[in-house]
């Protein structure tokens, strides 16, 4: 399958980094980019992230068929607005980098109906607290997981092509059903972002803490807080979109978190004294599960 002309729709950190990676791995491919703002256009051209860049104002009607591969690198809400405009036949392969899958796959199934098509939903797990094309780096996807979700009637050829594409870029891939993806991601990605953000707001609301913070020019926090707050508050628009799309699983995960945190808190309530063995078992369980989840052991 040829890969001469690629369109990256939306070029922030993810799209820009993908562009740099494509340049390395597919040097003959011509990359075009669609962006919202003139500021992005200027950055992209000066960083040479794409050969052709146009804003939607300049080019409101995109000729999708012109490209071998179209990459939607925008929040899920925007992807959902674009899917209905795609042609129902043709050789162009479409992928998105969306952080949730169910709503995209549902809409793809509706849009293409009974037609075989070439839309594969993908999720490269390599976010960063940085944003914008100015932060783009060619190695963003290297040795990262890219989850592939195949809608019911997507062609096997397009699936194999997309899998090969991400592996050439340097990612490793697994296939997940849309629902399994969204539930899993609620726990390993969406909930952690909520927790990190709330943690910073809780610390930021405590007057004693903030008095100390403001009393000296250096940070009073150690590595624990630094790591726990790294992803806090970044990329609000993207996260609102993710939370809306994954509302049900996110609520489940938050409720689980509140339940377990409340159980922990209530270990301190006993007048008979703290149940240390229970507390230690919570700690040991976390250590063991962390090793399992992160494949450290």
- Cβ proximity to its own copies: between 3 and 13 the closer is 13
CB 191 within 8 A of CB 201: no
Exactly one of 26, 54, 64, 187 binds its own copies (CB under 8 A); that residue is 187
- Cβ proximity to its own copies: between 216 and 272 the closer is 216
- Which segment (32-40, 59-67, 102-110, 187-195) binds its own copies by CB under 8 A? 187-195
* Cα four-point dihedral sign 44, 158, 103, 177: negative
Q: Considering only CA atoms, which of 175, 176, 173, 155 is closest in space to residue 164?
A: 173
Structure tokens at 65: 């068929």
Q: Does 264 sit near its own copies (CB under 8 A)? A: yes
Q: Compute the least distance from the CB of residue 146 to its own copies, in Å.
A: 11
* Cα four-point dihedral sign 135, 198, 75, 121: positive
* Cα four-point dihedral sign 64, 67, 69, 70: negative
Q: Does 81 sit near its own copies (CB under 8 A)? A: no
User: What residues from 198 to 217 belong to the interface with its own copies (CB under 8 A)?
Assistant: 198-206, 208-217
Exactly one of 40, 73, 102, 253 binds its own copies (CB under 8 A); that residue is 253
Exactly one of 114, 223, 271, 272 binds its own copies (CB under 8 A); that residue is 223
Name, in order, each residue with C-beta under 8 angstroms of 121's C-beta and a sequence gap of 6 or more.
95, 96, 98, 101, 104, 105, 108, 148, 149, 150, 151, 178
Radius of gyration of the chain (CA): 22
Q: Compute the least distance from the CB of residue 88 to its own copies, in Å.
A: 31
What is the distance between the alpha carbons of residues 254 and 212, in angstroms, rounded to a whole number? 31
Residues in contact with its own copies, shown as a per-residue x/- string from 136 to 175 under the rule CB under 8 A? --------xx-x------------------------x-x-
Residues in contact with its own copies, shown as a per-residue x/- string from 114 to 133 under the rule CB under 8 A? -----------xxxx-----
- Give the count of residues interacting with its own copies (CB under 8 A): 97
- Which segment (26-34, 35-43, 65-73, 259-267) binds its own copies by CB under 8 A? 259-267
Q: Does 80 sit near its own copies (CB under 8 A)? A: no
- Cβ proximity to its own copies: between 2 and 265 the closer is 265
Q: Does 2 sit near its own copies (CB under 8 A)? A: no
- Cβ proximity to its own copies: between 135 and 195 the closer is 195
Q: In which residue are the tokens 């042609």 written?
A: 87
- Which segment (24-32, 108-116, 159-167, 236-244) binds its own copies by CB under 8 A? 236-244
Q: Does 88 sit near its own copies (CB under 8 A)? A: no
């Amino acid at each position: 399958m040829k890969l001469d002309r690629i369109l990256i729709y939306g070029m922030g950190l993810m799209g820009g980094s993908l562009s740099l990676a494509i340049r390395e791995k597919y040097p003959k491919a011509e990359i075009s980019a669609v962006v919202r703002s003139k500021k992005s256009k200027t950055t992209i051209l000066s960083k040479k992230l794409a050969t052709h860049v146009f804003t939607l104002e300049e080019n409101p009607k995109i000729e999708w068929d012109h490209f071998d591969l179209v990459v939607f690198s925008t929040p899920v809400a925007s992807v959902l607005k674009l899917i209905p405009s795609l042609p129902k036949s043709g050789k162009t392969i479409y992928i998105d980098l969306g952080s949730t899958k169910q709503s995209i796959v549902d809409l793809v199934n509706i849009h293409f109906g009974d037609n075989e098509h070439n839309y594969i939903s993908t999720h490269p797990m390599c976010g960063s607290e940085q944003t914008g094309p100015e932060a783009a780096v060619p190695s963003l996807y290297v040795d990262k997981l890219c989850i592939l979700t195949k809608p019911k009637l997507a062609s096997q050829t397009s699936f194999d092509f997309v899998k090969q594409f991400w592996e050439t870029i340097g990612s490793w891939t697994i296939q997940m059903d849309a629902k399994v993806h969204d539930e899993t991601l609620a726990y390993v990605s969406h909930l952690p972002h909520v927790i990190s953000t709330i943690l910073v707001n809780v610390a930021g609301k405590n007057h004693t803490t903030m008095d100390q913070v403001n009393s000296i020019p250096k940070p009073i926090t150690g590595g624990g807080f630094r790591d726990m707050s790294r992803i806090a508050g970044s990329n609000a628009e993207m996260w609102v979109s993710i939370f809306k799309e994954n509302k049900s699983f996110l609520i489940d995960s938050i409720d689980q978190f509140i339940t377990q945190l409340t159980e922990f808190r209530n270990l301190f309530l006993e007048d008979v004294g703290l149940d240390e063995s229970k507390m230690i078992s919570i700690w040991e369980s976390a250590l063991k599960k962390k090793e399992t989840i992160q494949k450290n052991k």
